[in-house]
Amino acid sequence: MHAVAPESFAYRPIGHFRTPHKAIAGMPIQPIGALGVSGSIVLLPGFAQGLQDLDGFSHVIVLYHLHQVRGHSLMVTPFLDTQAHGIFATRSPSRPNPIGLSVLRLAGVSGCCVHVENVDVLDNTPVLDIKPYVPDFDRWDADRIGWFAGKSGQAVQHRSDTRFADAPLAEEDLPVA
């Protein structure tokens, strides 16, 4: 017998990002384009104990809710290309579940605050989870990178625009008449 997945999930934030990025337009599109940009994750007080021992790591994986993205598209023209690609073949934020992921340098932990560097995240973005980055688990040598080949290096200087903040609602998100 197979379990049936629920139609939806509810997550609540464990905290929020504090970053210098106050607007979507002009933000870095990946941490590699935000080298040296500092920020922090301010956890809700009830989660502070969960930070114990995190300061022993150099990097963290942060999962967050892309709270300024409206709607989603299954085909998108990503920042680093002029052709449309399937959403699951991109890092574009206009996703069916607007979840972001960044691997950030951990600068320190103090109280409820996680200090991070190379921040490519909008200020006040809700944080869903923080995990330690462990190279033996999280790094893989890739033998192909699809349409990103020859383009991924452009993320260093490329900046965001507002194309995904105004994504059309997908058919399943439209109100029923």
* H-assigned helices in the chain: 135-138
Judged against a pLDDT cut of 60, whether residue 168 lies above it is answered with: no
* H-assigned helices in 16-161: 135-138
pLDDT in tens, 70-90: 889 899 888 878 899 999 999
Q: What is the mean pLDDT of residues 55-63?
A: 97
pLDDT value of residue 148: 60
Q: Which of 24-38, 54-68, 82-96, 150-164 has the lowest mean pLDDT?
A: 150-164
Query: Which 3-state string (H, E, C) describes the chain?
Result: CCCCCCCCCCCCCCEEEECCCCCCCCCECCHHHHCCCEEEEEECHHHHHHHCCHHHCCEEEEEEECCCCCCCCCEECCCCCCCCEEHHHCCCCCCCCCEEEEEEEEEEEECCEEEEECCCCCCCCEEEEEEECCHHHHCCCCCCCHHHCCCHHHHHCCECCCCCCCCCCCHHHCCCC
pLDDT classification of 175: cutoffs 50, 70, 90: very low
pLDDT value of residue 32: 82
Judged against a pLDDT cut of 70, whether residue 18 lies above it is answered with: yes
pLDDT in tens, 110-141: 999 999 999 999 999 999 999 999 999 988 78
Judged against a pLDDT cut of 90, whether residue 173 lies above it is answered with: no
pTM of the prediction? 0.80
